[in-house]
Amino acid sequence: MAQQRPIVLVPGKMSQRVLDRLPETFELVRLASADPALVTAEDAARVSGIAIQGKLASAFIDAFPKLEIIASFGVGYDGVDAAHAASRGVAVTNTPDVLTDEVADTAIGLLLNTLRRFPVAENYLRQGRWARDGAFPLSPLTLRGRTVGFYGLGRIGLAIAHRLESFGVSIGYHTRSKREDISYAYYPTLKTMADAVDTMIVIVPGSESTRATVNADVLSALGKNGVLINVGRGSTVDEKALVEALEQGVIAAAGLDVFENEPHVPEALMTLENVSLLPHVGSASEATRNAMGDLVVDNLIAWFDKGEALTPVPETPFRRSKSQA
């Protein structure tokens, strides 16, 4: 008799690449959302894997007594209660590395757009104003001579920093502890870094420990020539304080790819001219999203075939037990 294929549940939206590949190896079950009320008794008793793109609460995890692994689509997995999954012995995986270069490229583009106002200049041309009104106004800001401080210096932060080296800017960073493998200037607190730099790039995960840590005091320390770039998580920045800082000239400009309550962007940010806004497109190329989708599926295959995920998150460095196999 043929061995039964593992059953993988996908609640809500998911990369088409994942949906196309999963049926090759697994029995696929779909739900409209990750709502425990939608789980039938039959599915609760059968599902051993979940592929998720977005949030997955502990109550949904607990709906599946035979759950072994949660494969999350994205490098950030703050939407998944990984600590609770770990307490259940459930492995959690994410998709690091495959999106590093794409997000780093986006960060550089967003930084240049913010400083030099390229999207505004293009609209000026498209509206016929170059011919009608003359040359586009000189940009008040430039990358020349800037000092860039990184809030977070993991894989993506390092990739951005390496790109910025070629621009001839000074680079520093703030993380929980100093890294011994790099020579960039280290700042023990976020505020001391903000005092020392005029450009801050935020690329830390979203968590309670990082929530609203870029606050009014930090923005004030960044200064009137200061520029804030956020390609990490919107929750890291106090959006109300940021709006006030931009309106009052506490800092010069900001470039944001992430927001606190996506996809809803505060109207106050939308109306400001010294802000460059993107709809969370850091990794949004077909090539990169397909690579992320492949890693979601490959993690599930590796877990059920070899007993070990390819990219487990630090909270769940598990191997599949013999009793699960």
Long-range contacts of the stretch 118-127 (C-beta < 8 A, 24+): 119/276, 120/273
- Residues designated as active site: 233, 262, 280
For 268-313, strand residue ranges (E) read 275-277
The answer to whether residues 181 and 155 touch, using CB atoms and an 8 Å cutoff, is no
State CA 6 to chain mean position distance: 30
CA 160 → CA 34, 146, 149, 306, distances in Å? 34, 15, 11, 34
Residues in the chain: 325
Q: How many CB atoms lie within 10 A of CB 237?
A: 27
Q: How far apart are the first and last CA of the chain?
A: 17
Q: How far apart are CA 165 and CA 237, in angstroms?
A: 26
